[in-house]
Structure formats: C-alpha cells, structure tokens
Amino acid sequence: MEISQKVCLITGASSGIGAALAERLGARGGILALAARRPCDLHGAAGSVHAVDLSDPGEALALADEVLERHGRIDLLVLNAATRVDGAVADVALDDLDACFQVNVLSPFVMAGRLAPLMAARGEGVIATLVAPKVSGGRRGMGAYAASKAALESLTQTLRQEVGGKGVAVFAYDPGWVKTDLAPDGKEDPGVAADRLVAHLEAAKGSREILS
C-alpha cells in the first residue's frame, strides 16, 4: 500500500513505537490521526491529534467516529496502545485487571469492529495489532498482561478470517523487547521496530503468523 495520502490512525502515539511510527508514516505523506492519553506531536505532518483514555472502550468507539468525521475514512489502523500490569495472579487487583483488558483487548475490539466493515466495503485497508508472543503463552508475574495479549492475538486472527477476503489486510506484529515506557529494560530502539512495522504496512498482506 502506498502510504501517501492514506489516513493512518495510531493509538498510543505519544511515545515509543507509536511516536516513531507516526514520524515515519508522516514522512511518507500519510495523513496522521494520533491518539493517546498524553499530548502528541504531529512532526509537522498533516493530520489530527486526539486525546483518549482507552481504559474506557466507549472512548475508543468515540475516537473511531471522531477520526471518521474529521478525515472521512481510515485506511490504516495500528492498535499500538497497551498497559502492563505485573503481579502474581492471586495478587492483581480487580481494577488493575479490568484496566489491562480494557486497554489491551476491549478497546481494540470495538475500534476494529467499527472500522473493519468500512474498510471491507471499500475493498482496501490495513489493521495491525501489536502483540507479545514471548509472554502471551504465560509468564510468571505477568499474568494479566500475558492473558490480555493472548486475547489480542485471538481477536486479530478472528478479524483476519472475517474481513481478510474482502481486501482488508489484518496481521499481528511482534516488535520484540523494545525500550519503551512499558519495558524500560528493553534492548531495541523503538525506531528499529517501527521501521519493520512500516514495511509490513506497506506490504499490506494479512497473515496467520505473527509478523516480526
């Protein structure tokens, strides 16, 4: 897919991989719709900035409608926002567990559910989720985060089956252990992970496998 003049909605765009991705898509002429709890920088590119708290799926759905109203369509949806909750299964507070699943699973669910049919009707679009296969199979001390990422993988593959034959490329992307707010001990620069993701977005191919 040619990025130029495509409307690109990125969640979690204020830092880390999301910010690096926005910079790269903007440099390719993408029309950016950047969503985050914190202020985002458009890097001089055309587009819009949207303050949203994805711990409320209602705000996620409103975000999708807001971007559609502003730009008329969404061509690329990158579901990058995430929150991490650490702790043994027996120790995770209900509020923390709820927030983890709201941000990591339920908000992506409702946004994809709103936008995928519109992409399918046009016969074109890309939806990418950011997953964590190294932990989603289960990880001691990270039960809430691991389970939410496993659910996101499942959602991605279900969505691919539903709209993949209608011109919409759906794939899950594993950025690896990147140095971000969620992983201060990460080994890779967010820009490197963003470069690989851009290549997958441009290829616009759905996948049963998790791309990296």
Give the length of the chain: 212
**Distance separating the N- and C-terminal Cα atoms of the chain:** 18
The pLDDT assigned to 188 comes to 82
Do 65 and 44 touch, CB atoms closer than 8 A? no
Question: E strand or H helix at 60, and its extent?
Answer: helix 57-71
Give the whole-angstrom CA distance, residue 73 versus residue 75.
7
Q: Please give the CATH number for the structural domain made up of 7-203.
A: 3.40.50.720
pLDDT recorded at residue 184? 73
| Cβ atoms of residues 182 and 142 within 8 Å | no
What is the token pair recorded at 193? 């992970």
Full pLDDT tens readout for the chain, 212 residues:
999 999 999 999 999 999 999 999 999 999 999 999 987 766 556 689 999 999 999 999 999 999 999 999 999 999 999 999 999 999 999 999 999 999 999 999 999 999 999 999 999 999 999 999 999 999 899 999 999 999 999 999 999 999 999 999 999 999 987 767 766 776 688 999 999 999 999 999 999 999 99
Residues tagged active-site? 145
131 CB contacts (<8 Å, ≥6 apart)? 149, 152, 153, 156, 172, 173, 174, 210
Question: For the CA atoms of 145, 40, 211, 105, what is the dihedral angle to 10 degrees?
Answer: 40
Contacts within 8 Å (CB) and 24+ apart, 145-153: 145/84, 145/85, 145/86, 145/100, 145/104, 147/101, 148/100, 148/101, 148/104, 148/105, 149/82, 149/104, 151/101, 151/104, 151/105, 152/79, 152/104, 152/105, 152/108, 153/129, 153/210
Q: What's the rounded Cα separation, in Å, for the pair 28 and 22?
A: 10
Where along the chain do its domains lie?
7-203
Query: What are the tens digits of pLDDT across the range 39-87?
Result: 776 655 668 999 999 999 999 999 999 999 999 999 999 999 999 999 9
The H or E element containing residue 151 is helix 143-163
Q: Tell me, what's the pLDDT at 187?
A: 66
